[in-house]
């Protein structure tokens, strides 16, 4: 029995309606930007395996470092103990993050956000400002699936069953072009109440909302308002960190005079896509609000695998690769190729808008119905990509690619051709039907 069949008998997959979906594809190995399925087919990983992979799969440099670490120290509790990979990773990352002085490890993106929220709230509490417990977030934001992360994310279908249990937050519009003043006014009004603890945001790109982009100048204005009101700012760089936006971090696009965030959250690309690891960094002022001879002022948060040495080692190896001239060149190359693809994609009759920032390219379809995660064509679009030997999971009617940085020029051309083929489907209901039928038997992608 193959993996797909065995899986179907015992597994429950994330974000999957098993009553409608086809079986999960069994992947037996992966190398570079390609995933090899159990039936011998290869798929180009156009979304970097949920936005985590930076340097290609099964990278030999990361594998060697991880395997050495596994034989040296695989794990140790992180309360009362420390180790070289955790210390070195914190030292190296903090040196790249202006204003950030302390690093707190956790397990994934959602927990990095949970840590940030708890840090911000207890910061005010420890300083005698416990009345500051309101959080301001962007409408349509997404920060993860744990309860705190759900509470600060959009009230949409993802969280509908839990709405009554989620704490209340204030939402402001995303300052997309033309709505900057509205966002400023909404933040201003929220701050006036004097009860805001922090403003949490996805810097420059709201990923899950559909790769919605806004400018660094607009963000700078919001950060300035918060700073003046003694309100902490929290950048969720879980998706945008580690080169995705063309710079090392999305906040590196901020104008030099803009305030930097007080707290930043990282995961996904942190380990290059090798291991689960979360990281929350903060300023010295925040850390100092917890440091005391009074034990009750400590930060009571931790996970069994906090700062796992193998995960930290994967992150260090990924950072070595990321900072290399080769990788920086790849990021520039992908960004230029994406930019060059925009005019043709934007001219496609099914396309409403094309958004591009760094290695992120998104194509919003106007045809086939209104923008929605449950867009009627979503499954046909996904099937079309698979039929082209490419993994591109659309966010409803928003098609996008965030390739691993090792993607070749030929593979980039394959991605743009696939995006075009997906847009073609939106114009042709018969093609959409046909695409759904081919999903079970995708064609073979020729490996170049």
Q: Provide the residue count of the chain.
A: 448
Smallest gap from Cβ 154 to ligand PMP, in A, equals: 12
Q: Is 287 a catalytic residue?
A: no
CB of 225 to ligand PMP, least distance (A): 22
Q: Record the tokens describing residue 448, joined without a space.
A: 């170049």
Q: What is the closest distance, in whole angstroms, from the C-beta atom of residue 326 to ligand PMP in the complex?
A: 27
Active site residue 236: yes
Q: Is 15 a catalytic residue?
A: yes
Least separation in angstroms between CB 109 and ligand PMP: 2
* In the complex, least distance from residue 106 CB atom to ligand PMP, rounded to whole angstroms: 10
Binding site for ligand PMP (CB under 6 A): 108-110, 113, 142-144, 202, 207-208, 236, 238-239, 267
- If the CB atoms of residues 208 and 308 are measured against ligand PMP, the closer one turns out to be 208
CB contact at 8 A, 181 and 213: no
Q: Which residue of the set 45, 140, 236, 330 is catalytic?
A: 236
Q: Pinpoint the alpha helices (H) of 18-164.
A: 48-51, 60-70, 84-96, 109-126, 147-151
Beta strand pairing call for 196-201 and 232-236: parallel
d(CA 5, CA 23): 7
* DSSP single-letter state for residue 357: E
**Residue in 268, 382, 405, 416 annotated catalytic:** 268
Comparison of 32 and 273: residue with beta carbon closer to ligand PMP:
273
Strand order in 170-172's β-sheet? 102-106, 278-282, 263-266, 232-236, 196-201, 134-138, 170-172
Among 401, 384, 317, CA closest to 64: 317
Listed residue (284, 259, 248) closest to 103, CA to CA: 284
Q: Is 382 a catalytic residue?
A: no
With contact defined as beta carbons under 8 Å apart, do 354 and 361 qualify?
yes
Nearer to ligand PMP, 144 or 389 (CB): 144
**Looking at the DSSP assignment, which residues form a beta bridge with residue 390?**
44
Active-site amino acid positions: 15, 142, 236, 268
């Amino acid at each position: 029995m193959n993996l797909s069949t065995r899986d179907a008998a015992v597994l429950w997959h994330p974000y999957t309606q098993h009553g409608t979906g086809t079986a999960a594809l069994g992947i037996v190995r992966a190398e570079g930007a390609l995933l090899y399925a159990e039936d011998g087919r290869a798929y180009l990983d156009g979304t970097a395996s949920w936005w985590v992979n930076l340097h290609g799969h099964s990278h030999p440099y990361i594998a060697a470092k991880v395997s050495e670490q596994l034989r040296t120290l695989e794990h140790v509790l992180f309360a009362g103990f420390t180790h070289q990979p955790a210390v070195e990773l914190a030292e190296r990352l903090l040196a790249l993050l202006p204003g950030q002085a302390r690093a707190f490890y956790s397990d994934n993106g959602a927990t990095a956000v949970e840590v940030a929220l708890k840090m911000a709230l207890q910061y005010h509490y420890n300083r005698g400002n416990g009345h500051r417990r309101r959080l301001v977030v962007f409408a349509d934001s997404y920060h993860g699936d744990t309860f705190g992360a759900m509470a600060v994310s959009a009230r949409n279908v993802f969280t509908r069953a839990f709405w009554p249990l989620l704490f209340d937050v204030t939402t402001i519009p995303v300052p997309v072009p033309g709505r900057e003043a509205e966002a400023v006014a909404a933040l201003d009004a929220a701050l006036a109440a004097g009860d805001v603890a922090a403003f949490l945001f996805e810097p420059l790109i709201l990923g899950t909302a559909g790769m919605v982009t806004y400018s660094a100048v607009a963000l700078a204005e919001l950060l300035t308002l918060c700073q003046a009101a003694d309100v902490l700012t929290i950048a969720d760089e879980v998706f945008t960190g580690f080169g995705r936006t063309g710079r090392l971090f999305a906040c590196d696009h901020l104008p030099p005079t803009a305030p930097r965030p007080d707290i930043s959250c990282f995961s996904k690309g942190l380990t290059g896509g090798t291991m689960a690891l979360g990281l929350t960094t903060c300023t010295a002022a925040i850390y100092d609000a917890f440091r005391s001879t009074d034990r009750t002022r400590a930060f009571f948060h931790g996970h069994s695998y906090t700062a796992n040495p193998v995960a930290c080692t994967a992150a260090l190896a990924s950072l070595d690769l990321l900072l290399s001239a080769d990788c920086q060149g790849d990021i520039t190359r992908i960004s230029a190729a994406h930019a060059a693809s925009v005019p043709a994609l934007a001219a496609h009759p099914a396309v409403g808008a094309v958004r591009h920032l760094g290695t992120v390219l998104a194509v919003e379809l106007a045809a086939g119905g209104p923008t929605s995660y449950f867009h009627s064509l979503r499954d046909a679009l996904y099937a079309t990509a698979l039929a082209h030997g490419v993994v591109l999971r659309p966010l409803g009617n928003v098609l996008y690619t965030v390739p691993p940085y090792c993607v070749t020029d030929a593979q980039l051309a394959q991605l743009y051709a696939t995006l075009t083929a997906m847009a073609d489907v939106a114009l042709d209901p018969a093609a959409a039907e046909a695409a759904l039928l081919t999903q079970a038997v995708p064609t073979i992608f020729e490996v170049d």
